């Protein structure tokens, strides 16, 4: 894949520093140098030590990424929400992991995307997971279609310029929920557990913002925006304020309202496309099982 820029500065600058500012890492430059890539200025081959002059056109060819043979293919069809040359956004269903684990090498979203990109015959065949979801969380999941695209969005994530919004059905002390509030309790690992988390004074800073959308005497629908990305953050925070997610048996959620997993859905994703500079805004309605519970709630 080839990317190009017209150098617009008045002072000369070495290519390596210019490319760093564009989000191209040293690792990616090494791949260009040693795996068949190419750098040129105004059509003439150059290396990264060359000083760009005003109005010169820099082009960099990034070599194609061959598939990782250890990542198996899963032929289960994808529900594609958005796709272009750089990114793929899909709807992840319930009870599907984001990536393989040691004893579960297949059946994940990464395996499904691997099959899809191979079937499409894309030159870049490495699966780049940008945003993950827990196995039992549904909704929007973002993949990059090449390493440069992944690096660019990773930078946006670190700078908190990618917005992910969730919807959750919660129970417990729903009368205590405010119309709008922010939970800032620290989150730490629960002693004796590899997976489970809890709030505590020795934990990591955590911030969950929510808006109350609908409420009955025993459950509520909330919109949520994460400002940090701790393990199980939404589940832990809502349990801590006395309103655990419906169906969430790990964090003491109500199991009697017709849903068999934590009632959590990633329903909105917003980011500025690093290459087109256009705003990508994807939205999904509640997953079917959550929708059934919600409709029963408001009847």
pLDDT tens by residue, 34-86:
988 999 999 999 999 999 999 999 999 999 988 888 999 999 999 999 999 99
Contact 152, 274 (CB under 8 A): yes
Task: Compute and round to an integer the Cα radius of gyration of the chain.
Answer: 22
SS3 161: coil
- For residues 55 and 66, give the distance between their C-alpha atoms in angstroms, rounded to a whole number: 34
Enzyme catalytic residues: 134
The reply to whether 65-158 and 165-266+292-298 are identical in fold is yes
pLDDT at 25: 85
What fold characterizes domain 65-158? Pseudouridine synthase (3.30.2350)
Report the CATH number of the 165-266+292-298 domain. Answer: 3.30.2350.10
Extents of the domains making up the chain: 2-61, 65-158, 165-266+292-298
pLDDT digits (tens, 9 = 90+) for 9-38: 999 999 999 999 998 888 888 889 898 899
Please state the pTM of the whole predicted model: 0.91
């Amino acid at each position: 894949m080839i990317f190009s820029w017209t150098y617009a500065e008045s002072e000369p600058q070495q290519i390596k520093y210019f490319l760093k500012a564009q989000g191209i890492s040293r690792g990616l430059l090494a791949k260009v140098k040693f795996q068949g890539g190419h750098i040129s200025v105004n059509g003439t081959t150059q290396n990264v030590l060359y000083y760009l002059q005003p109005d010169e056109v820099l082009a960099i060819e990034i070599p194609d990424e061959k598939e990782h043979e250890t990542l198996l293919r899963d032929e289960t069809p994808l529900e594609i929400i958005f796709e272009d040359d750089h990114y793929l956004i899909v709807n992840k269903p319930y009870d599907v992991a984001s990536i393989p684990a040691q004893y579960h090498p297949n059946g994940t979203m990464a395996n499904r995307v691997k099959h899809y990109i191979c079937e499409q015959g894309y030159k870049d065949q490495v699966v780049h997971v940008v945003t993950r979801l827990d196995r039992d969380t549904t909704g929007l999941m973002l993949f990059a279609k090449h390493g440069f695209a992944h690096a660019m969005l990773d930078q946006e994530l670190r700078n908190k310029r990618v917005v992910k919004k969730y919807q959750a059905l919660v129970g417990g002390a729903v009368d205590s929920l405010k119309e709008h509030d922010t939970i800032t309790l620290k989150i730490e690992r629960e002693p004796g557990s590899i997976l489970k988390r809890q709030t505590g004074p020795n934990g990591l800073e955590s911030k969950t913002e929510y808006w109350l959308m609908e409420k009955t005497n025993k459950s509520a629908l909330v919109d949520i925006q994460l400002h940090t990305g701790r393990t199980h953050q939404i589940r832990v925070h809502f349990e801590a304020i006395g309103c655990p997610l419906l169906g969430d048996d790990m964090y003491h959620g109500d199991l009697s309202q017709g849903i068999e997993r934590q009632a959590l859905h990633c329903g909105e994703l917003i980011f500025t496309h690093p290459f087109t500079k256009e705003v990508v805004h994807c939205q999904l309605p509640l997953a079917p099982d959550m929708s059934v519970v919600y409709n029963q709630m408001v009847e």
